[in-house]
């Protein structure tokens, strides 16, 4: 009996070595049995390991029931990338890989939850929704050796740890924000960003599309926004814009991965790029703009904030807002439009916010704004995004938590990092500080981490600010508080480094983590990059 369990441990250890390429760091006397299992982030809500493995056979069948076809395509792609041959067929539990969509599971698992069982008979993925099935596959993906991300798997037999998982998220809003206005990030980068978000079950991508320095979305009724306003950027940053076609392509790509895009038009402040193209929107004598910063039509490439605003007493302002929001609503698939609303003083500010809210609702969307908007009596559906916690709110609306001291990833990973913001927290934001997020406000629907780009001008730098801190965001947003434990998370993260490396993510090798061996791919890309599962 003892001998048998010793053999089993050696077997599992070997599997582990193979899977994580990390034998060198394992000393036989200090083996932590917990680490014999794949390191899953975010940690599932309920998870029970069996100390056994399922050896994937040479011939496999993926069997899906009604509604499970898309999930079957994702799974097939995953297995193909591991050199595992499989036939895909419809039916009920007719394979060794079975996908079951069962809407009645929604009552227990919600909109995004799933069950994943790996037993000696094979793999079962169940959910009430397609999103849940996709997440079951994202969890399963982390059972495979990291080389799967970059075609680095040999044809050796794969063993999967046996497990029983029942999982669902703590919060519905698990977001990231990219400021494409100060410096532009193109469709290709944004798709890679979406790929990476999907692996960690992040589901909201907020694009800060406009600011003083640039306007990044094509609005056909206002052609100068692209002809003129998109040309600028912060000094050293990139200019450009997304065409409506590209915006649609990004949304479709993201939606396949259960990610909704939230476009932000930042108003009534942070609006100089638009005013430079349409100077007729200014008040008399340009009294709405600080002349020391810019005089239209000169572009602005500095970093200061709070010096430009719409002319709020000018009726043309509201026509402009209505036309822009109308067109943006038409091309936006998600239910939300972000109207900004930050860092501005004006006697008509509250009136503007209420009007902008009603314009957004007129186009059948839900408005989101930075926390200052809650000084105004916005509608009940409005969502406030908290960033400094200083606003005296007159309404009780839902909240997205982005408090700058925990979530502003334009701040450094470590003290003294170069090209980072320091205004909210001088020494940067550690992974542990992100992980220690505690929420007691029942109005909070989730969290979102922004990267502002005054100082982030390359894909490499954007990767460095987001990763690995976004893995901590993913876990605090998904895993119930009672299951969170930083030292356990840090161990799991140490084993994810190799995967991020194979995915070509230029992540910051934070000294808080004892990284295992890390393989680095030159190019960004992973097992599901550019893959479409079809309808």
**Min CB(208)–ligand TNX separation in Å:** 8
Q: In this chain, which of 410, 448, 463, 526 binds ligand TNX, going by CB under 6 A?
A: 410
Strand pairing category for 114-119 and 85-90: unpaired
**Min CB(264)–ligand TNX separation in Å:** 10
Binders of ligand TNX in range 267-326 (CB under 6 A): 305
**Min CB(20)–ligand TNX separation in Å:** 36
**Min CB(181)–ligand TNX separation in Å:** 9
| Cα 491 to chain centroid, rounded | 22
Helix (H), strand (E), coil (C) string for 311-375: CCCCHHHHHHHHHHHHHHHHHCCCCEEEEECCCCCCCCHHHHHHHHHHHHHHCCCEEEEEHHHHH
State which residue, 223 or 302, has the beta carbon closest to ligand TNX: 302
**Min CB(348)–ligand TNX separation in Å:** 20
Q: What distance in Å separates the CA atoms of residue 245 and residue 300, rounded to the nearest whole number?
A: 27
State which residue, 288 or 385, has the beta carbon closest to ligand TNX: 385
Q: What distance in Å separates the CA atoms of residue 227 and residue 132, rounded to the nearest whole number?
A: 42
State which residue, 9 or 414, has the beta carbon closest to ligand TNX: 414
**Min CB(342)–ligand TNX separation in Å:** 4
Q: What distance in Å separates the CA atoms of residue 493 and residue 490, rounded to the nearest whole number?
A: 5
State which residue, 39 or 373, has the beta carbon closest to ligand TNX: 373
Binders of ligand TNX in range 449-508 (CB under 6 A): 452, 454
**Min CB(473)–ligand TNX separation in Å:** 17
Are 262 and 334 contacting, i.e. CB atoms less than 8 angstroms apart?
Answer: yes
Helix (H), strand (E), coil (C) string for 40-92: CCCCCCEEEEEEEEEECCCEEEEEECCCCHHHHHHHHHHHHHCCCEEEEEECC
Distances in whole angstroms, Cα of residue 77 to Cα of each of 155, 191, 360, 384:
16, 18, 40, 39
Counting contacts by CB under 6 A, is residue 421 touching ligand TNX? yes
Binders of ligand TNX in range 180-199 (CB under 6 A): none
61 forms bridges with which residues in the sheet?
A: 87
Counting contacts by CB under 6 A, is residue 241 touching ligand TNX? no
Adjacency order of strands within the sheet including 97-101: 46-55, 159-167, 114-119, 122-127, 97-101, 59-64, 85-90
Counting contacts by CB under 6 A, is residue 526 touching ligand TNX? no
State both tokens at 317: 């302002």
State which residue, 222 or 455, has the beta carbon closest to ligand TNX: 455
**Min CB(411)–ligand TNX separation in Å:** 7
Other Cβ atoms less than 10 A from the Cβ of 438: the count is 8
Counting contacts by CB under 6 A, is residue 419 touching ligand TNX? no
3-state helix, strand, coil in the chain (%, to 5): 35, 20, 45
**Min CB(139)–ligand TNX separation in Å:** 34
Counting contacts by CB under 6 A, is residue 349 touching ligand TNX? no
Counting contacts by CB under 6 A, is residue 212 touching ligand TNX? no
Counting contacts by CB under 6 A, is residue 167 touching ligand TNX? no
State which residue, 313 or 426, has the beta carbon closest to ligand TNX: 426
State which residue, 74 or 408, has the beta carbon closest to ligand TNX: 408
State which residue, 209 or 421, has the beta carbon closest to ligand TNX: 421
Binders of ligand TNX in range 76-105 (CB under 6 A): none
Q: What distance in Å separates the CA atoms of residue 110 and residue 287, rounded to the nearest whole number?
A: 52
Binders of ligand TNX in range 358-387 (CB under 6 A): 370, 387
Instruction: Report the interface residues with ligand TNX, using CB under 6 A.
Output: 305, 342-343, 370, 387, 408, 410, 421, 452, 454
């Amino acid at each position: 009996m003892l001998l048998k369990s010793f053999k089993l441990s050696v077997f599992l250890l070997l599997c582990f070595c193979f899977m994580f390429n990390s034998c060198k760091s394992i000393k036989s006397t200090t083996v932590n049995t917990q680490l014999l299992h794949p390191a899953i982030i975010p940690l599932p809500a309920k998870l029970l390991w069996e100390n056994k493995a399922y050896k994937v056979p040479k011939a496999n069948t993926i069997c899906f029931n009604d509604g499970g076809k898309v999930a079957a395509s994702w799974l097939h792609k995953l297995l193909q990338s591991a050199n595992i041959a499989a036939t895909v067929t419809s039916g009920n539990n007719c394979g060794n890989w079975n996908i079951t969509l069962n809407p009645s599971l929604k009552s227990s698992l919600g909109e995004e939850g799933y069950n994943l069982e790996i037993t000696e008979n094979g793999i079962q993925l169940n959910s009430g929704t397609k999103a849940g099935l996709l997440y079951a596959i994202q969890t399963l993906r982390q059972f495979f050796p990291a080389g799967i991300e970059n075609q680095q798997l040999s044809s050796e037999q794969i063993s999967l740890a046996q497990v029983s998982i029942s999982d669902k998220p703590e919060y519905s809003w698990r977001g990231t924000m990219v400021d494409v206005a100060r410096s532009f990030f193109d469709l290709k980068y944004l798709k890679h960003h979406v790929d990476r978000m999907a692996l960690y079950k992040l589901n909201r991508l907020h694009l800060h599309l406009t600011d003083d320095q640039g306007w990044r979305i094509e609005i056909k009724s206002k052609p100068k926004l692209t002809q003129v306003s998109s040309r600028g950027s912060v000094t050293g940053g990139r200019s450009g814009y997304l065409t409506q076609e590209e915006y649609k392509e990004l949304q479709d790509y993201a939606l396949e991965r259960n990610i909704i895009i939230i476009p932000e038009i930042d108003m009534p402040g942070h609006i100089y790029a638009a005013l430079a193209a349409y100077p007729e929107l200014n008040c008399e004598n340009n009294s709405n703009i600080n002349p020391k910063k810019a005089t239209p039509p000169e572009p602005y490439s500095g970093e200061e904030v709070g010096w430009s605003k719409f002319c709020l007493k000018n009726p043309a302002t509201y026509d402009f807002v209505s036309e822009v929001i109308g067109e943006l609503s038409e091309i936006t698939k998600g239910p939300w439009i972000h109207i900004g609303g930050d860092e501005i003083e004006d006697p008509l500010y509250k009136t503007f916010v209420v009007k902008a809210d009603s314009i957004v609702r007129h186009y059948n969307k839900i408005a989101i704004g930075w926390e200052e908007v809650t000084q105004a009596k916005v509608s009940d559906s409005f969502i406030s995004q908290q960033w400094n916690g200083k606003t005296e709110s007159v309404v009780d609306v839902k909240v997205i938590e982005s408090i700058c001291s925990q979530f502003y990833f334009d701040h450094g990973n470590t003290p003294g990092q170069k090209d980072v913001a320091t205004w909210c927290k001088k020494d940067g934001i550690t992974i542990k500080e992100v992980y220690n997020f505690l929420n007691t406000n029942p109005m909070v629907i989730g969290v979102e981490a922004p990267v502002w780009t005054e100082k982030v001008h390359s894909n490499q730098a954007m990767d460095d600010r987001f990763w690995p801190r976004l893995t901590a965001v993913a876990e605090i947003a998904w895993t119930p508080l009672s299951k969170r434990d930083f030292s356990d998370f840090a161990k799991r993260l140490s084993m994810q480094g190799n995967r991020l490396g194979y995915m070509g993510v230029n992540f910051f090798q934070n000294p808080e983590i004892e990284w295992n061996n890390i393989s680095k791919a030159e190019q960004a890309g992973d097992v599901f990059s550019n893959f479409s599962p079809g309808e």
